[in-house]
Structure 1
Amino acid sequence: MGHLGRLKEEYRALVDRLDAAPVTLPEPEDAKAWSGWKEILEILFTPEEAELASRMPVLPSTLDTVARRLGMSPEELKPRIDEMCHKGLVMDLVNPGTGKTIYLLSPPVVGFFEFSFMRAHDMFPKKRLAEAMDAYLHGDRAFASQVFGGGTVIGRALVREDRVAAEALPDVLDWERATAIVDGAKGIAVTLCYCRHKREHLGRACDAPKEICLSFDMAADFLVRRGLARTIERAEAADILASARQHGLVQIADNVRNRPFWICNCCGCCCEQLVAINEYALPAVNPSGYEPHMDEATCLGCSRCSRTCPITAISMMARRNPSHRKNELRPHIDLDRCIGCGVCSGVCPRKSLRMKRRNRSPRVPASALEKSLRMAIERGKLPHLLFDQGASRGSRFLNQALHVLQRLPLASRIMAGEQVQSRFVRGVLARVRDPMS
């Protein structure tokens, strides 16, 4: 943490506040990455916004609750927090049933990193910000390890439904289908792909479409109200999914079973989730419940699947054909690395690769709350969620959290218990004078 003293006090406090959440903005060791990290903070947040953000509750809270935390009146706070919502630094999420608005400091991802590149116009200096993010994300593995190194990650791969073997198709659950997620959404919006837009400002974008990432329901409402996305109908969303398949893109959804907020259509060259797999060998994407199986008899050995795989999980290996003197090339699939997207199957000219159900399906959190709790436990952040001062959720949130915790595996419950006990003990010690002092 030797570099931290060079930050202004407001940004130092903001870094500490971000560190209380499951997804943080860790300080890198590499000097160039550190400069990018510092510049990201200073480009996105003014010193006044950083100071305000550093004091916001960890949990989603009402305007009145945030105002009390900050020692301001709601009337004084509203225009300031509205400006931060417009910049994507704070999310104001409206419950469609009650109309109640809650405010939440945006995490880095999915959050202010993406939001800063969802507009085509220059609210921020895009080239400078892209260069700062590139230096931070790729000059040091601190951020990638924090976000993608835990057991629970932010995104999960969706299998290409048209490439699932016929006998397995009836077993594909609705939450595993991109089409079903779109059909079940009450509101849909499309945004610019943050990853591709950022790479465009670096002069390294690929030719895949940029306006292609989908958001749903409360997330879509927030993005549209704040000018970060546009509302679309289901038919256009279906066309976007089809276009993504035609471009060989991986469909990655919010890593929850119920009411996912987003689907990204990702390429291996630009997408930060896939790059984390390729560059840092991190399990950055929760695999789908499917994996490719090859029909040896019909395979041509053309290597299209190997060249298309976005995470290099397929390599071509020489195999002896008993009826010929020469070896033949055949694909070897690393199923431990494979995320089950089905892109390889989509390019096979002989349909020799079909997607079949894995013997053991990956665990997917049921809800956003369960995902947050899992990530908090694995990253040692649970006490910040359960003991957040000034949050508006109170006993209702604790009851919901404890109900979810009771359903987690034993190892996760033990980790949660140790973290809560540690926080309690530290709190007691802070209030008791050391008799040896």
Structure 2
Amino acid sequence: MPALDEKLLAIYDEVLSRNPGETEFHQSVHEVLDSLGPVVAKHPEYTDAEVIRRLCEPERQIIFRVPWVDDSGQVQINRGFRVEFNSALGPYKGGLRFHPSVYLGIVKFLGFEQIFKNSLTGMPIGGGKGGSDFDPKGRSDGEIMRFCQSFMTELSRHIGEYTDVPAGDIGVGGREIGYLFGQYKRITNRYESGVLTGKGLTWGGSQVRTEATGYGLVFFVSEILNARGESFDGKRVVVSGSGNVAVYAIEKVQQLGGTVVACSDSSGYVVDEKGIDLALLKEVKEVRRERISAYAEARGGSGASYVAGGSVWDVACDIALPCATQNELNGHDAATLADHGCTIVAEGANMPCTPEAVRAFAARGVTFAPGKAANAGGVATSALEMQQNASRDSWTFEHTEERLAEIMRGIHDRCLETAEEYGTPANYAAGANIAGFTQVADAMLALGVI
């Protein structure tokens, strides 16, 4: 990793010693601190008041047991987490992830990223994240319901519309949010619709919330292209993943004139030179819940091919959108993309590019948009859902999508302007880190030593 400013290095060393073994959290902290050298030089008050050191320590870390009974009558035990990281700008806001890889370090990395992502939206929301090492794959609806009810029985005492507002993430979609909200309502005897976001449209949810992260990602890339005097017309795009973010990123790219030629899942990837058939992809992944190979099989002789394993980043493209999971795109992948003519990489997932990949993009002149800026559309629309819940209102799809597009334009412009102000023009990563940090840091200074 590159060397840090001396004052920031001392903070990073403390993070390492206080949080042993949490490699994802270490990586996310270093990535932010790496951008803050010019900030602390210009604003010594941030280090004098230990704002950065305080920012790296969560306000609250909650770990709890989640016992539940499977369909065979066997008691299962999982571990639940909620890291309430920073509430300087508003109630903690961030998703819940249900996946076997979840442990405290993953949740802290996600929560730390969420602080700056939420700040960039301009909405009054703090940063937090949660989840469990529970794996919903292969589980029946009854098992998932019983797990969610047990999980919420403990989590309910820590959340509320003015305290902490969870949402979905990997493994937590509309079904899980429904079970979680039902249990919260049962426990509290209140219809507190603002306590969770990602709800169904008939019971307090928002239009565009399902599409928001993928759509927002593409809106952000569209602004990058606009700044260059270009558009999506004629652009080849590769998307990793085939979950919610990937599917709706593909949809919006197609609406704006681009061609998505490849996507993936954990088993491999498909290449479809005619462009991904979105209706078929949705049927395979959202209805049939099958592997991506089923897409190629269904396309038959139309030219779609499936590659087991391997890297989707081997497919030549103009724009790459990593939308699967953290650290999925490494330095070798970054070099391959650049060699094949890729000029823009924008993160749809949280920290999918390794530090080596980010450095390779910079060295090869590839524009890189970090997740805290590019994928902020999901949490921005969650905040719009909270706004509608608070006013007992419901907006149209068109109005909500326009608000999302407006927020993503604002994030793009803040990143560019801030990067320019601090001497790193056109560096979206530095601009996002600094703009997100300064807003939170100023609020923390105003609130005193808390």
Classify the TM-score, shorter chain. under 0.3
Q: TM-score, normalization: structure 2?
A: 0.27
Tell which has more relative contact order, 1 or 2 (C-alpha 8 A, sep 6+): 1
Q: TM-score, normalization: structure 1?
A: 0.27
Higher helix content, 1 or 2: 2
Which protein is bigger by CA-based radius of gyration? 1
